[in-house]
Amino acid sequence: MEINLISDTITKPSREMLVYMLNAVVGDDVYKQDPTVIELEAKVAEIFGMEAGLFFPSGTMANQTAIKLHTQPGEQLIADKYAHVYHYEGGGVSFNSGVSCCLLDGNRGMITAEQVANAINDPEFYHSPMTSLVCVENTTNKGGGACYELEDLQKIKEVCDANNLKFHLDGARIWNALVAKNQNPKDFGKLFDTISVCLSKGLGAPIGSVLLADKATIHRALRIRKILGGGMRQVGYLAAAGLYALENNITRLAEDHRRAKEIAEVLKKVNWVESVEPVETNILIFKLVPNCIEKNLIELLKQKNISISSMGHGKLRIVTHLDYKEVMHTYVLETLLKL
């Protein structure tokens, strides 16, 4: 029994999802003639109360398209120092849009309205780049699956409005946040100019993200997606997986959150762990005691058919997901206690 807790991106489509995909009605999406893609885009937009959506092969491309929509070369975006758009998108911010990042020292990947206000460059001071965009991530990846409070996002939105800044949400794990906080997705739709949502992490689809915005912005995004190579043909087979996931795999995210919290409680009891960061969703980050070597622990767990990942500097990460079953969970808890 191989147990992979490296990421929630490693899930595979269930038999039921595959059957749903095989029965999809498809067309050429480059010509906007794939009915299943159109259905998915409309459904996700409706969930968040936004006008339109556009299907992308990856969250990175969706985020990069949003940044391109909201900025001009030479400008600057504001984000947390752990932000995915900065750390894990191949330098696309500079390559695709020619903009720089002002990185803030937030709390577990989350920034505040006060920090944003203090980071905005004076638009009349032409020696500094023009600030044009604020990007936030919910849940936070490197922040250990932390979730924003809606009130904090509303305060950032007020700062954006007062300073003529656009506001983008990297919602790669927004579904986890919605379940964990019992929040209404339409409240997010009211706050952001653009939102990217991922279908291939907690929801278990094999591929795909959707970018949400008003109709005019999505029309502009269509051209950028084409430029970035994201135009796809009979992609309704993949969109069907997203539709199945939305219907069947959202509420069960609570199971992933419970299991992550139970693993955290075990790790707090063992003498080789120095600290465990707070767990809200399905990502768990913990730190080893100084004399414990990361690679040794990873190898020891591999010998017991459990895979986890290192974040460097004595920190390790565990991510629970759709394919991590209760029988696996029981084995992991027992194994960690016995190490």
CA distance 214 to 1: 46
Which H, E and C letters describe the chain, residue by residue? CCEECCCHHHCCCCHHHHHHHHCCCCCCHHHCCCHHHHHHHHHHHHHHCCCEEEEECCHHHHHHHHHHHHCCCCCEEEEECCCHHHHCCCCHHHHHHCCEEEEECCECCECCHHHHHHHCCCCCCCCCCCEEEEEEECCCCCCCCCCCCHHHHHHHHHHHHHCCCEEEEEECCHHHHHHHHCCCHHHHHHHCCEEEEECCCCCCCCCCEEEEECHHHHHHHHHHHHHCCCCCCCCHHHHHHHHHHHHHCCCCHHHHHHHHHHHHHHHCCCCCEEEECCCCCCEEEEEECCCCCHHHHHHHHHHCCEECEEEECCEEEEECCCCCCHHHHHHHHHHHHHC
**How far apart are the two ends of the chain, measured CA to CA in Å?**
18
Look at residue 296 in the predicted model and tell me its pLDDT: 94
- pLDDT at position 312 is 83
Q: Residue 244 and residue 215: Cα distance in Å, rounded?
A: 25
User: Does residue 198 contact residue 209 with C-beta atoms inside 8 Å?
Assistant: yes
Q: What is the pLDDT of residue 290?
A: 92
- Count CB atoms within 10 A of the CB of residue 262: 17
What's the confidence (pLDDT) of residue 318? 98
Q: What is the CATH number of domain 3-8+251-338?
A: 3.90.1150.10
The CA–CA distances, whole Å, from 7 to 248, 310, 330 equal 20, 11, 19
Is the pTM higher than 0.95? The answer reads yes
Q: What's the pLDDT score for residue 129?
A: 98
| 165 close to 159: Cβ distance less than 8 angstroms | yes
What are 287's strand-pairing partners? 275, 315
Structure token digits, residue 199: 């279908």
* pLDDT for 261: 98
Taking the chain (339 residues) in runs of 10, the rounded mean pLDDT of each run is: 96 97 98 97 98 98 98 98 96 98 98 98 97 98 96 98 98 98 98 98 97 98 98 98 98 98 98 97 97 93 97 92 98 96
| The token pair that represents 158 in the structure block | 């007020």
Residues 152, 113 contacting (CB under 8 angstroms): yes
Give the CA-trace dihedral at 58, 186, 319, 268, to 10 degrees. 160
Give the pLDDT confidence score for residue 278 in this predicted structure: 97
Q: In the CATH hierarchy, which fold is given to the domain comprising 12-248? A: Aspartate Aminotransferase; domain 2 (3.40.640)
Residue ranges per structural domain of the chain? 3-8+251-338, 12-248
Question: How large is the angle between the packed helices 59-70 and 215-227, nearest 10 degrees?
Answer: 120
How remote is the C-alpha of 174 from its chain's centroid?
Answer: 7
